[in-house]
Amino acid sequence: MVSISSKDFNDNTAYIISLFFLFAGFFVFVYQSYLFLRHSELFLFSLIDFMVIINHFTYFAREWVNSPTDWTGLHQIMSWTPLAPTLFFAGLYIAYMDD
């Protein structure tokens, strides 16, 4: 019988999570490229756009995402931050944080 230590499990979990973020970032980039090639208009998705999609399934900060009354500067920065490179670099960070 093969035993898996908790370190191996954590390494595999981090690897799977990092792959998810890397592929999600790549998919968002490909989808934005597709929309640009089809409509010749650049649609950039921000972190706030991603949070709006997430909020359809959960109640995570729903009021703040839709109409912020507090922390408006953070909301503005998140609306300027592009989603694709953020997901991609988060995946790289997760992949290499244990090395």
39-93 pLDDT per residue, tens: 999 889 999 999 888 887 777 778 888 888 889 999 999 999 999 999 999 999 9
Q: Residues 16-22: what's their mean pLDDT?
A: 93
Are 74 and 88 found together in one domain? no
Beta bridge partners of 46: 82
Q: Tell me the pTM.
A: 0.77
Are 71 and 98 found together in one domain? no
Q: Round to whole Å and give the CA distance between 8 and 12.
A: 6
User: Of 91, 75, 70, nearest to 18 (Cα)?
Assistant: 91
Beta bridge partners of 82: 46
Classify burial at 8, counting beta carbons within 10 Å of its beta carbon; exposed 0-12, middle 13-18, buried 19 or more: exposed
Number of Cβ within a 10 Å radius of residue 4:
8
Helix ranges (H only) for 40-80 are 47-54, 62-66, 72-80
Are 14 and 34 found together in one domain? yes
Domain that holds residue 96: 8-43+83-99
- Per-residue pLDDT, 7: 58
Are 76 and 54 found together in one domain? yes
Are 53 and 76 found together in one domain? yes
Number of domains in the chain: 2
- Per-residue pLDDT, 30: 96
Residue 74 lies in a domain: yes
Residue 1 lies in a domain: no
3-state secondary structure of 25: helix
User: Is the model's pLDDT at 1 over the cut of 50?
Assistant: no
Are 73 and 50 found together in one domain? yes
